[in-house]
Amino acid sequence: MRADVIAIVPAAGSGERFGHDINKAFFEILGKPVLIWALEIFQRSSLISEIIPVFSTVDMERGLEMIEKYSLSKVKKIAPGGEERQFSVLNALNLIDNSSSIVLIHDAARPVIDEALIKRCLDMLGKNDGVVCGVPPKDTIKETEGGIVKRTLNRKYITSVQTPQVFRFKTLSNAFSKIKGEKIEFTDDAAVVEHSGGSIVVAEGSYRNIKITTPDDAIIAESFIKELEDK
Ligand code: C5P
């Protein structure tokens, strides 16, 4: 039997790159906020036992209203946002009492996930320290500095990493303890575990699992969601 799987959904970003005067997680696609599309998948999933969303102080009230409006009964606790993404996740981890649980972290800004993707990530944890999902980049990736190309990276060795990311609670919480006081910005959770020498494996992600970052992403996500809804 698998341990309890708790989904942590950080939604406390400011969305500077999004341009609109709104946190992108609350931007509506087809009449529903971006984060609700993801939260509803976890609510319906038989693989997820609890959901902990992370809201910033300014969004806390409307966040709570939405949990109620969309009957997200798996939400028992809400974590306050942190200055950086890693602190938002840490605030959620601090609310978990069951140390034998598994945590699945998913960006609220990625509304196009499905049960198969969740399962693929969970199934790969095994004896590894963590799982990320990812896809091969479609573009050629070059390392640059000040607009000058330093080198071209071999695409064979590059993965464009997404969420969900899965860890045993204990592994992630130990890794977070080790970075306490360090001034490094970690842009995903696996990087925190890698920093303490953990082994991370890659599950097959999806090109549809886009992160809403700029307004064009919302247009693309809308067409993917429409297609899923029409099925
Ligand atoms: O900024 P970025 O697109 O990498 O954010 C990924 C996810 O992390 C978003 O869902 C965002 O709301 C969340 N986040 C957070 N707290 C922060 C920064 C980002 O919960 N301080």
Q: Is the pLDDT of residue 1 over 70?
A: no
Is there an atom of ligand 1 within 6 Å of 213 CB?
Answer: yes
Contact 187, 165 (CB under 8 A): no
pLDDT of residue 14: 80
- Average pLDDT rounded to a whole number, residues 184-202: 96
For ligand 1, mutation pick of 88, 113, 165 (most atoms within 8 Å of CB): 88
In this structure, how many other beta carbons lie within 10 angstroms of the beta carbon of residue 44? 10
What is the three-class DSSP state of 26?
helix
Chain centroid to Cα 136, Å, comes to: 18
Q: What is the architecture of the domain spanning 5-230?
A: Alpha-Beta Complex (3.90)
Domain ranges of the chain: 5-230
Mean pLDDT within 116-145: 97
Ligand 1 centroid to 22 CA: how many Å? 13
Mean pLDDT, range 46-72, rounded to an integer:
97
Q: Is the C-alpha dihedral spanning 188, 190, 192, 197 positive or negative?
A: negative
Whether residue 174 is predicted with pLDDT greater than 80 in this model: the reply is yes
Mean pLDDT of 32-60: 97
The type of residue at 177 is S
- Distance between CA atoms of residues 164 and 100, nearest Å: 19
**For residue 88, how far is its CA from the centre of ligand 1 (angstroms)?**
8
Question: What pLDDT, on the 0 to 100 scale, is given for residue 228?
Answer: 86
Query: What is residue 3's predicted lDDT score, i.e. its pLDDT?
Result: 87
Q: How open is the CA angle 135-138-226, to the nearest 5 degrees?
A: 70
Residue 117 reports pLDDT greater than 70: yes
Residue 59, pLDDT above cutoff 90:
yes
Q: How far is the CA of 58 from the centre of ligand 1 (A)?
A: 14
Gyration radius of the chain over CA positions:
17
Find the mean pLDDT for residues 81-99.
96
Ligand 1 centroid – CA 1 distance (Å): 32
Query: Residue holding tokens 């990087």?
Result: 191
Q: What is the pLDDT of residue 20?
A: 65
